[in-house]
Structure 1
Amino acid sequence: MSLPIVIIGAGLSGLYASTLLNRAGHRSVLVEARPRAGGRILSHVEAEHAQRLDLGPTWFWPGMNPRMQALVDALGLAHYPQHTQGAMTLEAPDGKVLHRPVTWEQSPPSHRLVGGMQSLTDALQARLGDQTHLMLNTTLLSMKLRPNGVELALQDGGGRWTQLATQVIVTIPPRLMAQDIALTPAWPSETLADMTATPTWMAGQAKFVAAYARPFWREQGQSGSAVSHRGPLSEVHDASDATGAHAALFGFVGATPDYRRGIGVDELRRLSVLQLTRLFGEAAATPLWTQVQDWAWEPHTAAQQDQRPLAYHPAYRDPEVPEAWRKSVWLAGTERSALFGGYLEGALEAAEAAVEGVLQNLSSTFSPRPQQPLA
């Protein structure tokens, strides 16, 4: 039996890479350190509310993200534009709240998926089929070049073992790869330093979501969008479903990871609800449920260098692999996309490039065409 292609990381990039390999007739092993697939894509729901709310990425832009648009359409997923109708709310450092009675417009408009962004990774996972072996709770410890492939040292709850792969696609963030994976032969110090200096997108962020019985802010002529210079939420948006029947708000927490850890999740929830009440009135004081997701303390997302939230969008670059490894290891993930780094589109673009490299190296004729429906 031929050696498998091994993909490290079952986030969007890893799941898509595995799907493309399946479509090309190749079997793969998909290794994920978390107890679930999806990576930084995570949507949450509680019994009182039928709408899954995004704790990770929320939006894509159909006009700007052709791979995302094509994949969403191919998987039969419904989407709708972000709600922006109504006044924008501003909060000054002293807590004074102003409502600008002008509807703000996004250009181009961002879209959300019905059922949350996790609907995308759930659909990809459901299509993996028998050609992909998904291994959860499994960590890559090291990679070693061998004459006939790459030897991987893996670990799960049962212990350590080795897996020989014909090709490897690594989709985890560059910082985690440099920090956590031993490489033999060693990669140049300049390459590892560059990986360590590459910010992990959204790794320093935390999100807060609150579900409500009705979208009362819309009834008040507000869009649900707010910018605050007081906090703890620096930016707030409407997170309701397409009709507003299942109402919700979400916010990006502007406070630093150390501050968030210092006050604890319960206090962060309390302060966030108090802020929503200042912004949108007393109806915001009694959500059906709330949830906080702090990515800065997720060991499979953030490295120590990611504890300082980004104040700008990084300029990501295409991956560089040392010459000795170039026919064996390929790098993907959103941080490996020069054009769309940090976006879901970037995760797909990097996966396509890695898979195309793998298949060309295996002397296969394959050219990813994301606009075509997946088989």
Structure 2
Amino acid sequence: MSHHHPDVDVIVVGAGMAGLVCAERLRRRGHDVLLVEARDQVGGRTAGIEIDGETLDLGGQFIGPGQDRIYALAAELGVAVFPTHTAGANVMETETGRLRRFRGTVPKLGPLTLLDVARAQARLDRLARTVDAEAPWRGPNAAALDGRTLQSWIDRTVKTRGGRSFLVLACRAIWACEPSELSLLHALFYVKAAGSLAAVTDVEGGAQQDRLDGGAYGVATRLAERLGDSIRLNAPVQRIEQHDAGVVVTVEDGTAWGARHVVVAVPPPLAARIAFHPPLPAGRQLPMGSVIKYVVGYPAPFWRQAGLSGSALSLRAPIAVTVDSSPRSGRRGVLIAFVNGAPARDLATRSPEDRRRILLDALGRLFGPRAATPVSFVERNWNEEAFARGAYSAVFPPGAWTRLGAAWRAPAGRIHWAGAETSPRWYGYIDGAVRSGEAAADRLS
């Protein structure tokens, strides 16, 4: 095993929100820090693109009540917060293509189906309250809950066909996977980590309530400005060695740095690709959700004049959900559309031309012919991103929490963990990433 004189106090691997927050906090407290990032830019699963002078989010972008750490960070950096547009009616497309307008979170599904869905949501919330967010693998029912899928729970709990279809759509929208791929324990933990199912799904009063002026990516770039030459881009980490006095981190071109500690702040599939010596006590290989995000621009938010909010749900593939993501300036209209889970994997097999046509046809059904003729169209398939391997977050399949949980957040010698997947509060969200970066820095301070 190689020994390398420490070049810095701490090396942080991954310049997503967690890594940036961790590195900046450590540096502010007097530590000598090096932040290494595989991409040619910072931000991780927050990403942005500039179109006509406006920065639009290609990755994570929403924040909401209870997400105190990202609100505090935005205020510290001078980033304004503004509400997601909600005025007007939402749209629901049924499996047969019928459009229904509604207000709130749950669409008009018929009285029996609505009652069925409401009961299922209440039961899910009650079950979630029994889970320990700090240690979801513990508890008298943890093994049983982790041995089941969310699909099996839906099949047993939800009585109506419409209710089952709606909860499958909700699973795709929330976790970007199919309910048959998701541990029931993980679904419950995720809800507990947010406080309630309503906190996860709602716009007003929920996790999608607000947006960051200039995009979430703007928060990442402002943090990067503070770190300056402490960041190394285009440096994928291949190997991390521990020895008695510290760690050695080696990147793709063979460059190696020594440090007293390392914080790994990358998505689980990327952490699993790093060679650790000696090997870690438990692996970190987990699948990510499947997401294709579309950012579609128009001269103006024409749907508002039609009395629509821009929010839509569809039981008819491929789109799961849309949201009005027009910039605060009002200079253009922007709809974002998410294709998640199995529909995302299916759509990814089509040609770029076919994907564009299919997506615009779907928007046209939801919002009328003008939606099918945008002035800009940007696609981001997060599963094809080499240094993300999916979004929004890692998916725990059945058995994963009880198998990996005890070692999931625990340091492995001089190796520490950060990232949205390591936070017991707001798992998978920008706020969870910020919290995890702060917690990792606090452990080393």
User: Same-fold call, TM > 0.5?
Assistant: yes
- Measured against aligned partners, the alpha-carbon deviations of 1:74-112 in whole angstroms (never above 9, x if no partner) come to 000011111111011111122222223x36662246111
Task: Report 1 or 2 for greater relative contact order, CA contacts < 8 Å, sequence distance ≥ 6.
Answer: 2
Q: Greater helix percent: which structure?
A: 2
Structure 2 CA distance for partners of 1:267 and 1:25, relative to 1, 3 Å: same
- 2:428: which partner in 1? 342
CA–CA distance in structure 2, aligned partners of residues 208 and 306 of structure 1 = 14
- 2:58: which partner in 1? 55
The TM-score normalised by the length of structure 2 is 0.70
Tell whether the 8 Å contact from 1:143 to 1:184 is kept in structure 2 after alignment: yes
- 1:17: which partner in 2? 22
The TM-score normalised by the length of structure 1 is 0.83
One-letter code of the match for 1:77?
Answer: V
Aligned residue among 310, 316, 325 for 1:224: 310
Structure 2 CA distance for partners of 1:186 and 1:310, relative to 1, 3 Å: closer
CA–CA distance in structure 1, aligned partners of residues 291 and 317 of structure 2 = 14
Unaligned runs of 5+ in 2: 106-202
Tell whether the 8 Å contact from 1:150 to 1:168 is kept in structure 2 after alignment: yes
C-alpha RMSD of the superposition? 2.7
Structure 2 CA distance for partners of 1:82 and 1:133, relative to 1, 3 Å: same
CA–CA distance in structure 2, aligned partners of residues 224 and 70 of structure 1 = 28
**Structure 1 segment 63-82 matched on structure 2, within 5 A:** 63-82=65-84
Aligned residue among 273, 295, 311 for 2:360: 273
- Quick one: percent identity of the two aligned structures? 31
Tell whether the 8 Å contact from 2:7 to 2:257 is kept in structure 1 after alignment: no
Q: CA deviation at 1:265?
A: 2.7
One-letter code of the match for 2:43?
Answer: G
Secondary structure at the residue paired with 2:211? strand
Aligned residue among 249, 271, 278 for 1:152: 249
Q: CA deviation at 1:146?
A: 1.9
Secondary structure at the residue paired with 1:233? coil
Secondary structure at the residue paired with 1:166? strand
Unaligned runs of 5+ in 1: 360-375
Aligned length: 338
CA–CA distance in structure 2, aligned partners of residues 113 and 32 of structure 1 = 24
**Structure 1 segment 1-375 matched on structure 2, within 5 A:** 3-4=7-8, 5-47=10-52, 50-61=53-64, 63-100=65-102, 102=103, 106-108=204-206, 110-129=209-228, 132-155=229-252, 159-178=253-272, 180-188=273-281, 191-192=282-283, 195-197=284-286, 199-200=287-288, 203-242=289-328, 244-254=330-340, 255-302=342-389, 320=408, 325-326=412-413, 328-359=414-445
Tell whether the 8 Å contact from 1:257 to 1:296 is kept in structure 2 after alignment: no
Instruction: Using the TM superposition, name which of 67-76 and 264-273 deviates more.
Output: 264-273
One-letter code of the match for 1:163?
Answer: W
- Measured against aligned partners, the alpha-carbon deviations of 1:217-265 in whole angstroms (never above 9, x if no partner) come to 0000000110001132110110112353321101111353432221133
Q: CA deviation at 1:348?
A: 1.1
- 2:171: which partner in 1? none
CA–CA distance in structure 2, aligned partners of residues 103 and 182 of structure 1 = 48
Tell whether the 8 Å contact from 1:32 to 1:136 is kept in structure 2 after alignment: yes
CA–CA distance in structure 2, aligned partners of residues 265 and 74 of structure 1 = 41
CA–CA distance in structure 1, aligned partners of residues 302 and 18 of structure 2 = 38
- Measured against aligned partners, the alpha-carbon deviations of 1:275-315 in whole angstroms (never above 9, x if no partner) come to 11111112212211001101111121117x99998999x98
CA–CA distance in structure 1, aligned partners of residues 33 and 416 of structure 2 = 14
Q: CA deviation at 1:317?
A: 6.1
Tell whether the 8 Å contact from 2:86 to 2:309 is kept in structure 1 after alignment: yes
CA–CA distance in structure 1, aligned partners of residues 425 and 394 of structure 2 = 24
